Amino acid sequence: MNVFITGVAGFLGSHLAEECLKNGHNVYGNDNLIGGYKDNIPKGVNFSNIDCNDYYQLNDIFKLNEIDILYHCAATAYEGFSVFSPNFVTKNIFQSSVSVFSAALNNNIKRIIFCSSMARYGEITPPFSEESIPNPVDPYGIAKLAAEKVLISLCKLNNIEWVIAVPHNIVGPRQKYDDPYRNVMSIIIHKMLKNESPVIYGDGEQKRCFSFIDDCISPLYKMMISKEANKQIINIGPDEGTITINELVNLCANHLGYNGTPTYFKDRPLEVKNAFCSSNKARKLLNYKTTSNIEKAILETSNYIKSKGVKNFEYNIEIEINNNLTPKTWKNKII
């Protein structure tokens, strides 16, 4: 089939492209390179350096290449930062998603797989299940949930198949590690490799589950071909046990031989304290299995960053609301 992946230069999109190529599909993709690296793009991908907000170019590409399947992975996935740059983030979550969906629907693409976010659930009691009533608390999560609703509405009207994937805290090689606003594991490891103190917001007792990239690709690929997955919202990620940010820092330090201590800052506004999902539905529909652990994720992520080399963090996104609530790590560029 002809598969199109938005955000194909990004962390998730590039791995998914590899899987599709391996299974004999023709892979097309786009990226504006805000959140990815061009050398992430696998050989064999037909790449277009265009923005997801460009409906007309996407429409032309979908039409010219007779795209069958669309994976919408592209996102400015800045959950905490969206509180302070809501215009930038929501434009590149909600509006860009509507642009992508509209172009796909106009070209009768058979199935659209939308990568949403655990942020859609917001401030409810974990573990989050697909039957939970979402209560997103930040602009990023609100925009993701709104995009889901537009997708479902338009696909129903146009009789197009859809699947909504809800991955959570995916980690591993190719993740953008010079971004100061997101990707906590990569930031921690990168800081330690630079022999700098890692940053922790609040008391560090936030509970999360981290999902190694390899474990996410198989269920995501199956969403393209599974009849049972059609018109389903499906969580993807480990749910066997949680880890706190303090514990994550200690594991990274032990692996890297880092002897320093973390620096604690005030809680980030509207950060959900405990956020983790149930993956029972993915097990039932997609035979989801966790095959990797947090130690492997740390090993593979640190090896990747070492291979690429340490960098300066890129503060290339404007803070739109800069006040006494804005974390000084971002305001003063001290990550």
Residue 177 covered by a domain: yes
Q: CATH no. for residue 34?
A: 3.40.50.720
Same domain membership, residue 151 and residue 82: yes
Residues 163 and 190 in one domain: no
Tally of CB atoms within 10 A around 155: 21
SS (H, E, C) the chain: CEEEEECCCCHHHHHHHHHHHHCCCEEEEECCCCCCCHHHCCCCCEEECCCCCCHHHHHHHHHHHCCCEEEECCCCCCCCHHHCCHHHHHHHHHHHHHHHHHHHHHCCCCEEEEECCHHHCECCCCCECCCCCCECCCHHHHHHHHHHHHHHHHHHHHCCEEEEEEECCEECCCCCCCCCCCCHHHHHHHHHHCCCCCEEECCCCCEECCEEHHHHHHHHHHHHHCCCCCCEEEEECCCCCCEEHHHHHHHHHHHHCCCCCCEEECCCCCCCCECCECCHHHHHHHCCCCCCCHHHHHHHHHHHHHHHCCCCCCCCCCCCCCCCCCCHHHHCCCC
Q: Residue 200 sits in which domain range?
A: 171-208+239-276+291-316
Do 117 and 178 share a domain, yes or no? Answer: no
Which pLDDT value is given to residue 79?
97
Say whether both 29 and 46 belong to one domain.
Answer: yes
Residue 262 confidence (pLDDT):
98
pLDDT along the chain (335 residues), means of 10: 98 98 98 96 98 98 98 97 98 98 98 98 97 98 98 98 96 97 98 98 97 96 98 94 96 98 97 96 96 96 98 96 97 96
Residue 145 to residues 49, 81, 103, 151, 223: CA-CA distances in angstroms? 27, 17, 20, 10, 19
**Domain assignment of residue 182, yes or no:** yes
> What pLDDT sits at residue 278?
96
267 and 142 in a common domain: no
- Per-residue burial over 252-290, b if 16 or more Cβ lie within 10 Å, else e, is bbeebebeeebeeeeebebebeebbbbbebbeebbebee
Are 197 and 61 in the same domain? Answer: no
Q: What is the pTM of this model?
A: 0.97
pLDDT value of position 241: 87
* pLDDT on residue 132: 96
Per-residue model confidence as pLDDT tens digits over 264-296? 999 999 999 999 999 999 999 999 999 999 999
- Name the domain count of the chain: 2
> Per the domain annotation, does 332 fall within a domain?
no
**Per the domain annotation, does 282 fall within a domain?**
no
Same domain, 64 and 80: yes
Q: Note the pLDDT of residue 208.
A: 96
Tell me, what CATH number does 185's domain have? Answer: 3.90.25.10
Residue 286 lies in a domain: no
Q: Are residues 24 and 107 in the same domain?
A: yes
Same domain, 157 and 261: no
In a domain, 97, yes or no: yes
Q: Confirm whether 224 is domain-assigned.
A: yes
Give the model's pLDDT for residue 268.
97
Residue 7: inside a domain:
yes
- Residue 113: which of 239, 216, 238 has the closest Cα? 216
Pairing, β 207-208 against β 243-244? antiparallel
Q: Do residue 203 and residue 127 come from a single domain? A: no
Shared domain for 88 and 179, answered yes or no, is no
Do 86 and 193 lie in one domain? The reply is: no
